[in-house]
Amino acid sequence: MGLVVVLRTAFLFSFIFCVLAQNDVDYSQFVNPFIGSEGAIPGYAYGGGDIFVGGAVPFGMVKLGIDTYEEPINQSALNGGWTPKGKVTGISMLHESGTGGGAKYGYPAQMPLTSIDAPVNLLDNLTYWQTRVGEDFARVGYYRTLFESGVTVELSATRHAGLYQYNFPSGGKHVLVDFSHYIPHPTRAWDSQFYTGGEIDIHPNGSIYTGYTSIANGWNLGPPVTVFVCGEFDETPDEARAFSGKNTFPVGRHFRSFNNESTPQPTFHGSQSRSGPMSDRVGAIFSWNSTSESQIKSRVGVSFVSVEKACAYKNQELSSWDIQQTAQAVRDEWNRDIFSKIRVDTGPSANKTRLALLYSSLYFMHLIPSERIGENPLWESDEPYWDDFYTMWDLFRNQVSLWHLIQPGYYESMIRSLIDMFKHEGFLPDGRSGNYNGLVQGGSNADNVLADAYVKGLRGSINWTEGYAAVKKDAEVLPFWDVNPVDPQGSLKEGRGALDDWIPLGYVSADRNTRAVSKTVEYSLNDFAVSQIAAGEEPGDQELYLRRSAGWQLSWDREATSRNFTGFVMPRYANGSFHKTYDITDCGTCNWEDESYEGTAFEYSFVIPHDVETMIQFMGGPSHFEERLDYVFQPNTSSVDLGANGLGITTINNVANEPDFGTPYLYNYLNKQYKSVERSRQLANDFYFNTSNGIPGNSDAGALNCWLIWQMLGLYPIVTTPVYLLESPWFDDINITVNHNKTLRIRAEGLDDGDGRQGYYVQNVSINGKSWNKNWFEHEDLGIMTEGGEISFLLGTEMKVWETGEVPPSPGHVVLEDGRR
């Protein structure tokens, strides 16, 4: 541990040195921490971003914020903790941001109370939960709210510790520490989290408590996560009592009481309480006798390793107890390490809406995964440790490619951590949270992440021999079935659960597997990714995986017709025949048990980024392809009713979900870049706003936010390849710090797009002063992304075909003879 700390400090120092000069702008002032906190129904979270609201440093282990319960529950989403109108049930240290599915985290918690007399029952949150009054206030690193009880709560957080500041009105003063609190999944028992036990010790003078809580299950059905806690109050309480009580959470079938008994009362035990064999709930209540208005602060450290580490974090990271000073240090870190990596003019004439969209998007794409160096409870290793990859399915599309450019240090650390997971647990994760791999939505998409880093030359301390072994295992070894109730056929924990179809048949069959369409499309890109790393690490393997990457062609039904278009990826059976009556424009619930996951066959037929050339040919050549592409952006073409979850999207293309992220940019492959600009701008303008419902769906760990950043930069990466498409920037001058300390400058002369004006079509482009006739470039072309340089766009209102060079490449181009591999 000592060694790791020293290395990390050195790493931060190098950061401080090189960006000091650029750090005089407080970009954090432009961040709106509520973008995505609300969905389409005003006042409710459902269909919104599911974001975390509270205090956190970039990739912080601790994300301190309120947990709420909002009714009607069918219109809510508790995942991020905060909901617009929800009642507060606790204020907790660990959160996700932007995730769907069964919630994770929401522990360990405190709750300030002004009375603990009947009817309050410390084991029943319904008896003490709090409506908030007035508007919540949040800015980077700081959050404030006012409870109906009159208590003002202020929060800030460091990397491993949280600072709570309570301003009590005159009257009673108590703080409940509830180790059995977590974010529940009230409408679904099987993947809800549940509490499995804990222990709390109150230290002799009553101001310090230590212990642990263990919470199991949640989204990826993980085993219990044990978090060690060390909390302290700045004012010694007059009374501090530990308690326990029967575990009767109604949703978790594990402890369900079927005789409808009312929630029992706690039993008080002096200074110590343990769960014992019945997983009893434990906690403590701290009380202050003075009845005058006063402030009580608490600093709390957490660790996945020990109470000692939790206490050390609390003491070291929050030595000042000062919330304004703590919040300022958090903002400084965000400005230095995150926001200042992309610098635009912030002066009086700058468009403040755009500044909010840019810097808020940067904020939301740096909340998870969680950096947990020195916090791996599972194995000893000198490699870094990260958690909360939730999920690669979201992150691989373009977010990892931006981290590659602007966060090379953090990103290298993540990749080393992923490879270390493979070494110690057998497989790379596709999702990971609570120190546990899962859920796999389609393919093994960490393969795409590793390939993207590899082809762009990320080396550092990454052992690519092992990196290649990791992706090769995904491509070759069928994972053990994890008995997840939503998929009776294959593992959802890790790896590729349908490899026993994929290898012998060349596609995933619809009779032996679920999600055949989307898995076939994803496995194809995964094998292309493997071939990309093989090219450098094991050249003899490259051809094998390149051929496998054409598997989607075997699932292409040349006769399938929909809306007058012919040829689609379709569900295909093991006997070789296609599911002819499959609805190409409607995937039903589009879920785990369906034939296509979160996207129709119509949409997935466009998701072949490694071989767009064959895709265009299969769709009947460039003009048919263009017509079909035009069609998916026409209003009222979708057959899928996204309801309140869809924010009014009626096109087949669903910009709110990851599979379709790249589709608006496909016009570049026709040398009609102006159409990519037109479509993608329109989507961004129609669906992204500086408002609490300003994002079209779950932010997915920031994946949606990152899509917007690329749009604003005027670039789009083709992941697993070194290619970037050229689009149209939203600022006339952007400086980006790439490759640690080099500057990429993007300029847009002639940009004139305020208030509906359309001066954003590209007239011509030059790179490092050289006229550039292609609508794409590669990572190392003219050293642009490695050494820095300048991309200059000349923009105007004319929809111009300015590109005369080759169309973007299809490095995974494979021709199958007679439809065979």
Residues in contact with ligand NAG by the rule CB under 6 A: 14, 18, 46, 69, 72, 74-75, 89, 124-125, 184, 203, 205, 207-208, 236, 238-239, 249-251, 259-260, 263, 289, 343-345, 351, 353-354, 463, 465-466, 511, 563-564, 573, 575, 577, 635-636, 644, 733, 735, 740-741, 745, 754-755
Around Cβ 425, how many Cβ atoms within 10 Å?
A: 17
Smallest distance, Å, CB 610 to ligand NAG?
27
Give the Cα separation of 146 and 164 in Å (integer): 13
Q: How far is the CB of 264 from ligand NAG (least distance, A)?
A: 10
Using CB atoms, what's the residue nearest to ligand NAG?
A: 754
CA distances for 66 relative to 56, 211, 390, 750, angstroms: 13, 21, 21, 46
Local structure of 815: helix, strand or coil: coil
Q: Which is nearer to ligand NAG, 127 or 328 (CB)?
A: 127
Distance CA 382, CA 593 (A): 40
CB of residue 808 to ligand NAG, shortest distance in Å: 27
Cβ proximity to ligand NAG: between 287 and 773 the closer is 287
The minimum distance between CB 655 and ligand NAG, in angstroms, equals 16
Between 152 and 463, name the residue whose CB sits nearer to ligand NAG: 463
CB 600 within 8 A of CB 563: no
The residue among 112 and 812 lying less far from ligand NAG, judged by its C-beta, is 112
Comparison of 251 and 794: residue with beta carbon closer to ligand NAG: 251
Residue 327's nearest CA partner among 93, 63, 142, 136 is: 142
CB of 636 to ligand NAG, least distance (A): 4
Work out how close the CB of 671 gets to ligand NAG at its nearest, in angstroms, rounded to a whole number: 26
Nearest approach, Cβ of 799 to ligand NAG (angstroms)? 19
Nearer to ligand NAG, 134 or 754 (CB): 754
- Neighbouring residues of 362: CB distance < 8 A, sequence distance ≥ 6: 338, 339, 341, 342, 705, 709
Residue type, 611: D
For residue 736, give the H/E element and its range: strand 733-738
Closest contact distance (angstroms) between CB of 806 and ligand NAG is 31
What residues contact residue 731 under an 8 Å CB cut-off, 6+ apart? Answer: 344, 345, 354, 358, 712, 746, 748, 751
CA atoms of 155 and 39, how far apart (whole Å): 25
Structure token digits, residue 143: 């959050």
**Residue 805 burial (CB count, 10 A):** 11
Which is nearest to 528 in space by CA: 482, 474, 488, 581?
474
Task: Characterize the bridge pairing of strands 742-749 and 789-796.
Answer: parallel
Query: Is 130 or 549 the residue whose CB approaches ligand NAG more closely?
Result: 130
Asked if residues 50 and 364 have their Cβ atoms less than 8 Å apart, the reply is no
CB closer to ligand NAG, 60 vs 206: 206
CB of 669 to ligand NAG, least distance (A): 24
Give the residue with the Cβ less far from ligand NAG, 74 or 324: 74
CB of 74 to ligand NAG, least distance (A): 4
Q: Which is nearer to ligand NAG, 328 or 691 (CB)?
A: 691
CA distances from 548 to 236, 476, 480 (A): 66, 11, 22
Is the Cβ of residue 45 or residue 365 nearer to ligand NAG in the bound state? 45
Query: What is the sign of the dihedral through the CA atoms of 627, 633, 635 and 637?
Result: positive
C-beta of 260: minimal distance to ligand NAG in Å?
A: 4
Rg of the chain over all Cα atoms, to the nearest angstrom: 26
